[in-house]
Structure 1
Amino acid sequence: MSLSSHSDAECSPCPPQGPRDPPGDTERGGDTEQGGDTEPAEDKVCAVCGDRANGYHFHVLSCEGCKGFFRRSILKGVRYSCPLARRCPVTKAKRRQCQACRLQKCLDVGMRRDMIMSEEALRRRRALREQRGQPGGQPGGLTAEQQELIDLLIAAHQRTFDSSFSQFAHYWPAVRLYIPSPPRSGVAAGGSPPPLPPPTEDVLPDVFSMLPHFADLSTFMIQQVIKFAKEIPIFRSLPVDTQISLLKGATLQICQIRFNTVFNANTKVWECGQHCYTIRDGALAGFQQVYLEPLLKFHESLRRLHLHEAEYALLQAMLLFSPGHADIAQRDLIDQFQEKVALTLKSYIDHRHPKGRFLYPKLLLLLTELQTLKVENTRQILHIHDLSSMTPLLSEIIS
C-alpha cells in the first residue's frame, strides 16, 4: 500500500522606505492575527522593540506597532536596505529609523510569515464578529458554514479512528506490553495496591524487541490518517501529487494528535484498547531519549488542555492543509482552507470551550513543538534501518 494508491536585503536609517507605522501603532482597528489573542500586558514587553506588548502576534509576544509593521511588510513584499550592515538598534524610540533591521529583528525573534492572514480572511472574520450579535446566527457563535465544517471533520475522524484499536488486533504481537493492573476491591479508598511481582525472565525484553510491533502500529496509523484525508472533499479534489505532498508533510504529526486522545496523563500510558504503551516501549523500538522525553512532555501538555473532539479534529485538518508542504501550484487553495479551519477552531474555542481563554495561542505553541518532534522523529527513524525495511509505507512517508 502506497500513498499514491490512496492515492534583506540591506538598511537606510532615513527616510525609511515602504509602509510606516500609522498613528498610534495600530492596524485596522486592532484586528488580531492567528495566534494573536491578547493577554494582560503588565510586565510583558515586545520581543522586537521592547515596547509594551499586548499579546501574541504571529507566534511572538509583541506590540501592536511591530505586529502591523511585520504584516504590511510581508504582504506587500517590500525590500528594505540598510547602509550600516544591519547593525541598527531596534528600540521603541528608534524602531522607525531602519525598516530593514526592524523586519530582520521580527524574523529573528520568531515571527512567522505563514501565520499572516490574507485580507479576505480578515474580512471574513470581521463579518463573523458582526454576525455573532445578530438574529439568525448559529447557536454558540458559529456560522452555519463553520458548524458544517466541524461536523464533516468529526465524522471523518470517527470513521477513521477507533480508540479501542480493535482493527489492530491481527497485527504482530509485541514481546512486552505494559498492562495496568485492574483496581482491587480490597484496597481501601486512598490506599495503594500491592506492588506487582517482578517480571519473569522469559518476558524480559531484549533491545529492539518492540520494533516489529512498532512497525505494524506505524503502518496501521498511517493508513488511518490517509483514510481521514480522503474523507475531506477538498483533499480529494487535489491532484494526486499534491495529496501525497500534504500527507508526507503532516501524517506523523496527525498520528501524535490521535495518540493524545488515548493518553492517560496520570499514568503516562497510551491506552490503546488491549494494548498499552509507555515511553519505555519507544526505547525498546530503538528511539533515543532526546526524542522520547520531549514527546512525553508534549502529550502531557496537550492533554492538560482537555480538548473536545471537535478541537482534535480541527487540529488534524490544520496540520494536513499546510501550504508549506504542498505543490506551489496549489498553495493558495490550501492556504485558504487552512485559514478557514483555523478561524473555525478559534471561534469554537471562544464560544464552546469553557475556560478556554488563551487556549488558541497555547495550541499554536504546541503545534510548533510538534513540528520539532517530527523532525527528530524522522531523523531517528532513518537511523533504525530495520524499521523502514519492515514498513514501506512509513519509509515512503519520511522519504
Structure 2
Amino acid sequence: MGPPIPLHRSQARPQHSQPIQSPWVELTPRDSVLTASKSGRRRSQESEEGVVSLGGKADLHYCAVCHDYASGYHYGVWSCEGCKAFFKRSIQGHNDYICPATNQCTIDKNRRKSCQACRLRKCCEVGMTKCGMRKEHGNYRNSKTRRLTRLSSQSRANGPKPLTGPVEGLLNELQPPALTPEQLIERIMEAEPPEIYLMKDMRRPLTEANVMMSLTNLADKELVHMISWAKKIPGFVELSLLDQVHLLECCWLEVLMIGLMWRSVDHPGKLIFSPDLSLSREEGSCVQGFLEIFDMLIAATSRVRELKLQREEYVCLKAMILLNSNMCLSSSEGSEELQSRSKLLRLLDAVTDALVWAIAKTGLTFRQQYTRLAHLLMLLSHIRHVSNKGMDHLHCMKMKNMVPLYDLLLEMLDAHIMHSSRLPRRTPQEESAEQKEVPALPPGSGSGPSNTWTPSSAGGGAEPQ
C-alpha cells in the first residue's frame, strides 16, 4: 500500500506546552482529566527515551522503520537517530518525494537512504506521527507555526473569515488529512453515476435523425450526472471554479466514451449507449460520417476486453481523464491560479498512485505491473484521439443543422471548440452572419442560447427525468 495521500484541507492542530486561551474554549472536568492523562503519557514517553542509554542489552529496542538500534521513543515509535531526523525533516520541510520504482522499496539499516519516498511511507505505516512531536526550544519555524495556528483559532472565534495567501498555505501543510490509495478508490467508486436510460422506443428501421436525436438526448442527460460525479471526486471542488469548468469542458466527451467502452466490453461488435439503446455497426452506419468513429470505438473496446480491465482500474482511468485535461487551462500566473494548479497536480498524483496500487494488488510481478500500467495509460491516448474525431463530427452536424442540440450539450460543445486550437475563434459579426444563413430549428429543439454553466449551477439542479 502506498503512502497516505493528502487530498483535503483541514485545520491543523497547534502544538503547545500550554493550552490556547480562547474565548470559546472552556475546559470541563472531563477535559481536565483528559489533559492530565495526556500530560502523564507525554512524561512517560520522555522518560522512556533514556531506556537504551541507561539499560543493558535486555532493554535494547530496535527502530521500527529500519530495524537498527533505537535511540529512543520518537514521534510515537521506537526509532534510531537517523530515521528520527529524517522524519523531522520531512514534516518540517518539503516531502514531495517520488519513488523511482513501485513504492515498494525495502527499507532496512543498509538501504534506508536509497529511497526517501518509501522511507517516509514506512515511517507513516509504523505509526510515526506529528502528534508525538516534542516541543523544540528556540525553533523559529515552530514558533511561527504556533503563531499562525493561534491566528487561525482567533479567526474562527471572530467569524467565518477564510485565510488567504502564504498563511493559508502554511496552515495546510501542517497536518493534511490523508486517504490511502484504497480509500481513494473507494471514494471514486462511490461517486460513479447511475445508469442512464433513454426511456424511448427506437423505431425501426433507424434513420440518421432518429439515431442522432437519441444519442444527443442521452449525452445531455449524462452531462448532468458527470458534473455531480466530478464534484464527488475527493479534492476536485477545492480547485478554483475556473479550473473546474475548464477541466469538464475539455474532457466531457472522453469521459462519455470511456463509460461507453466499459458498458460495451461484454458485448463484442456492439456499443451499449444505455441499457435500452445498443447499436451494431450496421445500425450505426445510417449516420453520415459516424462509421469511422464507430469502428474506432469498437477497436478500443476490444483492447479493453483483452486487458481484462478491472473496475478499480476503470474508475482511476476515468478520473485521470478529467484531471489530465489541463491542456485547456488558462496560463495566467496569479497566486490563486498557481495554488489551484498545485492542488490539481497533487490530486492527479494521488489518482496515479491509486492506479498503481490497484495494479499491484492483482499479484503480478513487478515487470508485469510496469507493462500493464503502460498499456492502461496508452488507452487514454486512444480515447482522446476518438474523442477529437467525435467532436469534429458533432460540430459538423451542428453546422449543417442536422440535429438539435440540448442546452447543456450545446454549451459544452461550444466551450470545447473555443478552447481548442483546431478552429479559430469567430467574431460576433461572423456569428451573426452565420445565424442569418442557417435556417432556424423548430421550437423546443433546445438549441437556443443558454446561460454559461458552472459546476455549481449544473450540478446543483434537479436530476433529468
Aligned residues between the structures: 244
Contact in 1 for aligned 2:265/2:304 (Cα 8 Å): no
One-letter amino acid of the structure 2 residue matched with residue 239 of structure 1: S
CA distance in 2, matches of 1:387, 1:348: 44
Quote the residue 1:253 is aligned against.
254
Contact in 2 for aligned 1:314/1:341 (Cα 8 Å): yes
Contact in 2 for aligned 1:245/1:325 (Cα 8 Å): yes
> Could you say if the C-alpha distance between residues 237 and 265 of structure 1 is closer, same or farther in structure 2, counting changes exceeding 3 Å?
same
Which stretch shows the higher mean deviation, 205-214 or 388-397?
A: 388-397
SS at match of 2:191: helix
Is 1:314 the equivalent of 2:312? no
CA distance in 2, matches of 1:121, 1:268: 45
Instruction: Quote the sequence identity (%).
Output: 16
Q: 2:190 aligns with which of 151, 155, 160?
A: 155
Is 1:378 the equivalent of 2:388? no
> Could you say if the C-alpha distance between residues 235 and 241 of structure 1 is closer, same or farther in structure 2, counting changes exceeding 3 Å?
same
> For 1:274-309, what per-residue CA distance to the aligned partner results, in whole angstroms no more than 9, with x for missing partners?
332223444334443332222211111112211221
> For 1:316-360, what per-residue CA distance to the aligned partner results, in whole angstroms no more than 9, with x for missing partners?
111111232334423332122112211220122022365864211
CA distance in 2, matches of 1:312, 1:223: 20
Q: CA deviation at 1:125?
A: 7.0
Structure 1: segments with no counterpart, 5+ residues: 1-117, 176-202
Quote the residue 2:328 is aligned against.
325
One-letter amino acid of the structure 1 residue matched with residue 319 of structure 2: A
> Could you say if the C-alpha distance between residues 121 and 336 of structure 1 is closer, same or farther in structure 2, counting changes exceeding 3 Å?
farther
Quote the residue 1:221 is aligned against.
222
> For 1:91-128, what per-residue CA distance to the aligned partner results, in whole angstroms no more than 9, with x for missing partners?
xxxxxxxxxxxxxxxxxxxxxxxxxxx99351597765
SS at match of 1:307: coil
**What TM-score does the superposition give when structure 1 sets the normalisation length?**
0.54
Q: 1:302 aligns with which of 296, 301, 304?
A: 304
Is 1:351 the equivalent of 2:361? yes
CA distance in 1, matches of 2:402, 2:224: 17
CA distance in 1, matches of 2:307, 2:99: 30
SS at match of 1:174: coil
> Could you say if the C-alpha distance between residues 241 and 226 of structure 1 is closer, same or farther in structure 2, counting changes exceeding 3 Å?
same
Contact in 1 for aligned 2:243/2:329 (Cα 8 Å): yes
CA distance in 2, matches of 1:210, 1:377: 15
Quote the residue 1:334 is aligned against.
344
CA distance in 1, matches of 2:363, 2:327: 29
SS at match of 2:278: strand
Contact in 2 for aligned 1:210/1:285 (Cα 8 Å): yes
SS at match of 1:341: helix
SS at match of 1:398: helix
Contact in 2 for aligned 1:265/1:300 (Cα 8 Å): no
Q: 2:98 aligns with which of 122, 131, 149?
A: 122
CA distance in 1, matches of 2:187, 2:408: 27
Is 1:360 the equivalent of 2:360? no
Is 1:276 the equivalent of 2:278? yes
C-alpha RMSD over aligned residues: 3.2
> Could you say if the C-alpha distance between residues 267 and 387 of structure 1 is closer, same or farther in structure 2, counting changes exceeding 3 Å?
same
Quote the residue 2:139 is aligned against.
none
One-letter amino acid of the structure 2 residue matched with residue 343 of structure 1: D
CA distance in 1, matches of 2:271, 2:188: 23
CA distance in 1, matches of 2:265, 2:315: 19
**What TM-score does the superposition give when structure 2 sets the normalisation length?**
0.47
Contact in 2 for aligned 1:260/1:303 (Cα 8 Å): no
Contact in 2 for aligned 1:246/1:326 (Cα 8 Å): yes
> For 1:235-255, what per-residue CA distance to the aligned partner results, in whole angstroms no more than 9, with x for missing partners?
112232211100011111111
Structure 2: segments with no counterpart, 5+ residues: 1-93, 107-117, 127-177, 332-336, 415-465
Contact in 1 for aligned 2:219/2:409 (Cα 8 Å): yes
CA distance in 1, matches of 2:240, 2:283: 38
Contact in 2 for aligned 1:254/1:319 (Cα 8 Å): yes
Q: CA deviation at 1:231?
A: 0.9
SS at match of 2:268: coil
Is 1:398 the equivalent of 2:398? no
> For 1:71-95, what per-residue CA distance to the aligned partner results, in whole angstroms no more than 9, with x for missing partners?
xxxxxxxxxxxxxxxxxxxxxxxxx
CA distance in 2, matches of 1:233, 1:144: 9
CA distance in 2, matches of 1:379, 1:210: 18
CA distance in 1, matches of 2:322, 2:179: 23
SS at match of 1:270: strand
Contact in 2 for aligned 1:269/1:278 (Cα 8 Å): yes
CA distance in 1, matches of 2:103, 2:266: 39
Q: Which structure has the larger Rg?
A: 2
Q: CA deviation at 1:134?
A: 6.3
